[in-house]
Structure 1
Amino acid sequence: MAKHLRDNVSRVKASSPLGTTIFVGLRVADVLWQYTILHAGWGSKLIELLGGSSVDIDLVLDSSNGQLRPYYKLVIFMSLCSSLKQIVTLLFISKQEMPPISAVIIAAANTITNSLNSIMSLWLFTSRVPTSDRWFDILHSPSVAIGVGAYLVGLMTELISELQRKAFKKNLANKGKPYGGGLFSLATNINYGGYTLWRAGYALATGSLPWGILTFSFFFYDFSTRGVPVLDQYLTETYGEAWKEIKIRVKYRLFPRLY
């Protein structure tokens, strides 16, 4: 008996004003939530409530003006960019419907993941916060420098690949054809690979190497055992031989030359 594959997104192409509004609102709220976790001390209080030790408040907030120090502004920046990317994708790239329940679940999953990263950045055991406010010193930490680099590369890979596919689909001459050009010529699901990479980079920059590896492993496993197979099934049913030809030409699924 064939294994049932669960798809986390709808493949129906339709407008969904309510779901879209809910999703955009929740993704904007996520940035404010992450800011509150850091600035209001909620994350530190939770860590201490659970018996852990949080970083000194003076390393989080500048006592002279009450603002977040540069490292924690960087944490907020990653939350902000991830929200903006997903909002842009929904509003200007994706044609799939966004039912209200899906909007809540997807936004909540992203907020939970981001919140864990924010808390990890505050936990003394995992935090990469430097004692200096100079940007050079912040990026002097290998995990922060590599994490931010992986975050930016992954986010841009996901966004650019989806914009390339959008441009292909917009051309009426390509109606009914699957896309295997641009970055998708390197891996059939390179946008999933980009998402996995920026998620891992985000985690690495906020919670050290073990947290980054765990995050990467979680998303890589989910995509390779569920996300990619279910999308492959959908594309095979939709495009038939044309999709099979792309899979023969493009050897890799998530990352070029990874496996």
Structure 2
Amino acid sequence: MAEKKLHDNVSRNKAPSVLGRTVFVGLRALDTFWQYHLLSRGWSTQLIERLNGRTVQHSQIFWSSGALVSQPYYGVVLALSLLSSIKQIIAMLLVSEQETPVGSAVMVATFNTVINTVNTLLSVWVTTCPASTSHNFSLVLNNTIVLGLAAYAIGILTEMISELQRRAFKRNPANKGYATVTGGIVWGAFTCSFFFYDFATRGVPIMEEYLVYRYGEAYKRIQKKVKYSLIPGIF
């Protein structure tokens, strides 16, 4: 049986991909407006109710004018979508050097919008709305909301800062060909030693055991011809 070829959702080729990037940026920008309309027009509550779910009252989400959120909690829900879009747009325009086909741009942007849409729907469903369980929409008095905001902030800031650091490092001519990246020779030597030990004592023996089991004598003949398992001339 032929081994299934792995599929990479992201191209590893470098290309400007003006059209693909434009599509991605446009779709990610539209996501926030989509989430806003889900809440302001009552589409989110209507969908939950059609599924026989009980929702928070629309007056707890938006004022009757339909222009501004009536509770800080739903301002945060929209902010989560907005900030994730801004972060991904910045990464696409300032960090990414990879080819971005239109198909991939649509797929990735749509995936994020679907996830954010589910998040918006869950925010109005009484069963999953953290504010509704305590009848308290305050952001600082609800432990679930505080924990969620902290996790979101840590995650998005860590990823964004890491991407900007990588961009700055790669664009510095002094770092061209610098294999140990930022850890220096000591950390690089430690990392190399650790993984060499792991390969030598665990990874390679397990792989050889599997190959002998799978191919039997055919692989044993290859072992006799190929003396080195990992590094030619050394190991």
Q: TM-score, normalised by structure 1?
A: 0.66
Q: 1:245 aligns with which of 192, 195, 214?
A: 192
Shift of 1:139: 2.6
Give 1:103's aligned residue. 105
Equivalent in the alignment of 1:125:
127
Matched ranges for 1:201-240 at <5 A: none
Distance in 1 (CA, whole Å) between partners of 2:116 and 2:181 is 31
Aligned to 1:115: 117
**Runs (4+) of structure 1 moved beyond 2 Å?**
1-6, 62-66, 129-133, 173-182, 244-249
2:90 maps to: 88
CA contact (8 A) 1:128 1:144 kept: yes
Gaps of 5+ in 2: 199-235
State the match for 1:36 in structure 2.
Answer: 37
Deviations 1:61-104 (A, max 9, x none): 13477521211111000100000000000000111111100000
Match of 2:229 in 1: none
How far did 1:246 drift? 9.5
Normalising by structure 2, what TM-score? Answer: 0.72
Flag structure 1 segments of 5+ consecutive residues without an equivalent: 187-240, 252-259
On the 8 A contact 2:41/2:66 being kept in 1, the answer is no
The alignment partner of 2:75 has SS state of helix
Residue of 71, 74, 78 corresponding to 1:72: 74
Larger of the two Rg values belongs to structure:
2
**Given that residues 45 and 125 in structure 2 are in contact (C-alpha distance below 8 angstroms), is that contact kept between their aligned partners in structure 1?**
yes
Indicate how the Cα distance of structure 1 residues 165 and 178 shifts in structure 2: closer, same or farther if over 3 A, else same.
farther
| Alpha carbons 1:121, 1:127 under 8 Å: kept | yes
Say whether 1:26 aligns with 2:24.
Answer: no
Identity of aligned residues (%): 43
Is the Cα–Cα contact under 8 Å of residues 71 and 129 in structure 1 kept in the other structure?
A: yes
Secondary structure at the residue paired with 2:140? helix
1: distance between equivalents of 2:162 and 2:14?
Answer: 19
Query: What are the residue-to-residue correspondences of 1:124-163 with 2, within 5 Å?
Result: 124-129=126-131, 131=135, 137-163=138-164
